[in-house]
């Protein structure tokens, strides 16, 4: 499990640790980790041209001490001071090691720029002098390695309301921060390298499942299992206008752990589903969970769906099914899987606002409707009504293809039917959906059908990793 903590949590943990350590120890740990990461990033140290963008906080101190360590190993290190109040001891150490102070013109010929402008205490946006330096790095295509976070992003929300650093690598300390997981800031971070500095931290408000976590939660059938105990999913999807949505969602469901699936919908669509998937039962019957909405169009039966929301079986609402959701009643057994536009309609805001503030709006919808929200996107945000958040970060851009959301709805519905609660079903489903997309997109584009077909192989690969 990867965990991301808030600024307040990190500050408290740092203060507690610093009270027990000799002065400067924590900064030296961070600087050593940063210097090693920079050396690995560059592929060499001796002769490398390194420009440090140094602000007034401890981030600037980390950069200066890392620069000192690189200078002692033969790097040409230049510090561009962006404040009158930089870390005095760090600057002295850099100079003693052979580093020097320079201007922003040094950026043009640098091999790497180190972003030590502001740390986790900074606010979104950059001051003019810092902005000039960052723009020069972009102009000359010099890669930027961010210290802890890319300067200018909102650390606790992942929002980027103003111009900010776009890093080729971010080196962070002690724990991940929320901006490392949540877009749009997560994209600005690039790959994130975590340096352990010994912090003791409380429970994290944001998590990201890794393969072992998904494996531990996956409902593997046992010797005594039968098709009913493995889970029966009811699917309401597809319409005369969008029959393919039902076929695709069924493929996603069959790629999950369920034992049986019932399709409930128009007869012609049912025939299309049965033709593509002969094992499907078409018609009403007992189910352990419902997946509703993909491609329903105008054929959505709002009254029927609302009755199902009040029953004990968990329900997944996707696409057109979201129109049946209201903010009354207890919906804690409900999972919704909107994209940004659909969530914007639910919350009556602009799509651009949701895209810019993904975590904020996923949490808002979870609280307002008392549901678990899976907000689809490059980093999928999953918010539970009790405040828990998970983020899925293993997606590929090839996943952005028509029908992939139908596959995800079917898969998550299958996991609900197999017994996972909405929060785990969403997180496990998002991870496997992305893994299948990566598998199916090896070497090029993929399609929704190909993703669905890759789900068994992706799941088998995940489960086999334990052996």
Helices (H), 112-184: 128-139
User: Could you tell me the CA-to-CA distances from 244 to 237, 273, 369, 415, 448 in Å, in that order?
Assistant: 9, 8, 29, 22, 11
Q: Is 161 annotated as a binding residue?
A: no
Q: Is 376 annotated as a binding residue?
A: yes
Q: Which two tokens stand for residue 50?
A: 């390194």
Q: Is 62 annotated as a binding residue?
A: yes
CA 322 to chain centre: 23
Q: Is 148 annotated as a binding residue?
A: yes
Q: Is 190 annotated as a binding residue?
A: no
Q: Is 40 annotated as a binding residue?
A: no
Q: Is 124 annotated as a binding residue?
A: yes
Q: Is 447 annotated as a binding residue?
A: no
Q: Is 59 annotated as a binding residue?
A: yes
Rounded CA-CA distance 428/422 in Å is 10
Residue 319: CB atoms within 10 A of its CB come to: 24
Q: What angle do CA 304, 246, 291 make, to 5 degrees?
A: 45
Q: Is 245 annotated as a binding residue?
A: yes
Rounded CA-CA distance 54/52 in Å is 6
Q: Is 24 annotated as a binding residue?
A: no
Q: Which two tokens stand for residue 385?
A: 């009504």
Q: Is 174 annotated as a binding residue?
A: no
Asked if 415 and 253 touch (Cβ cutoff 8 Å), the reply is no
Q: Is 115 annotated as a binding residue?
A: yes
Q: Is 380 annotated as a binding residue?
A: yes
Asked if 168 and 144 touch (Cβ cutoff 8 Å), the reply is yes
Q: Is 320 annotated as a binding residue?
A: no
Q: Is 229 annotated as a binding residue?
A: no
Q: Is 58 annotated as a binding residue?
A: yes
User: Could you tell me the CA-to-CA distances from 298 to 88, 241, 242, 338, 345 in Å, in that order?
Assistant: 67, 9, 10, 18, 17
Rounded CA-CA distance 280/346 in Å is 32
Q: Is 405 annotated as a binding residue?
A: yes
Question: Minimal CA–CA distance to 19: which of 200, 196, 194, 176?
Answer: 200
Q: Is 11 annotated as a binding residue?
A: no
Q: Is 378 annotated as a binding residue?
A: yes
Q: Is 326 annotated as a binding residue?
A: no
Binding site per annotation, positions: 58-62, 115, 119-125, 148, 151, 245, 295, 339, 376-380, 405-406
Binding site per annotation, positions for (6S)-NADPHX: 58-62, 119-125, 148, 245, 295, 339, 406
Binding site per annotation, positions for AMP: 376-380, 405
Binding site per annotation, positions for K(+): 59, 115, 151
């Amino acid at each position: 499990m990867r965990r991301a903590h808030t600024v307040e949590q990190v500050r408290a943990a740092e203060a507690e640790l610093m009270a027990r350590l000799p002065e400067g120890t924590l900064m030296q740990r961070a600087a050593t980790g940063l210097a090693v990461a920079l050396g690995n990033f560059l592929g060499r140290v001796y002769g490398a041209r390194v420009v440090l963008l140094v602000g007034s906080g401890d981030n600037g101190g980390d950069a200066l001490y890392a620069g000192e360590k690189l200078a002692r190993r033969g790097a040409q290190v230049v510090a561009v001071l962006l404040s009158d109040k930089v870390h005095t001891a760090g600057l002295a150490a850099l100079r003693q090691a052979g580093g020097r102070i320079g201007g922003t013109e040094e950026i043009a010929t640098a091999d790497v720029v180190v972003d030590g402008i502001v740390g986790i205490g900074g606010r979104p946006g950059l001051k003019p002098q810092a902005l000039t330096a960052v723009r020069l790095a972009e102009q000359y295509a010099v890669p930027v390695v961010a210290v802890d976070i890319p300067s200018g992003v909102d650390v606790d929300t992942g929002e980027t309301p103003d111009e900010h650093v776009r890093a080729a690598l971010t080196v962070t300390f002690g724990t991940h921060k929320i901006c490392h997981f949540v877009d749009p800031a997560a994209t600005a971070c690039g790959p994130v390298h975590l340096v352990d500095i010994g912090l003791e931290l409380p429970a994290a408000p944001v998590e990201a499942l890794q393969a072992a976590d998904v494996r531990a939660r996956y409902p593997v059938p046992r010797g005594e299992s039968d098709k009913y105990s493995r889970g029966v999913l009811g699917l309401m999807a597809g319409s005369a206008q969008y029959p393919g949505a039902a076929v695709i969602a069924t493929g996603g469901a069959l790629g999950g752990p369920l034992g049986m699936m019932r399709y409930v919908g128009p007869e012609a669509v049912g025939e299309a589903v049965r033709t593509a998937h002969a094992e499907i039962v078409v018609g009403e019957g007992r189910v352990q969970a419902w997946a509703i909405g993909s491609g329903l169009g105008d054929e959505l039966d709002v009254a029927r769906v609302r009755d199902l929301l009040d029953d004990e079986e968990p329900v997944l609402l996707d696409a057109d099914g979201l129109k049946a959701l209201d903010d009354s009643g207890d919906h804690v057994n409900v999972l919704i899987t909107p994209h940004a536009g659909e969530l914007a309609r639910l919350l009556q805001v602009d799509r651009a606002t949701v895209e810019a503030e993904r975590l904020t709006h996923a949490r808002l919808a979870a609280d307002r409707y008392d549901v678990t929200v899976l907000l689809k996107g490059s980093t999928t945000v999953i918010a539970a009504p009790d405040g828990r958040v998970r983020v899925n970060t293993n997606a590929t851009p090839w996943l952005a293809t028509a029908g992939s959301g139908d596959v995800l709805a079917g898969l998550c519905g299958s996991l609900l039917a197999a017994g996972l609660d909405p929060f785990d079903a969403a997180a496990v489903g998002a991870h496997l959906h992305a893994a299948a997309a990566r598998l199916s997109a090896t070497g090029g584009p993929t399609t929704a059908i190909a993703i669905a077909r890759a789900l068994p192989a992706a799941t088998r690969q995940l489960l086999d990793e334990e052996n």
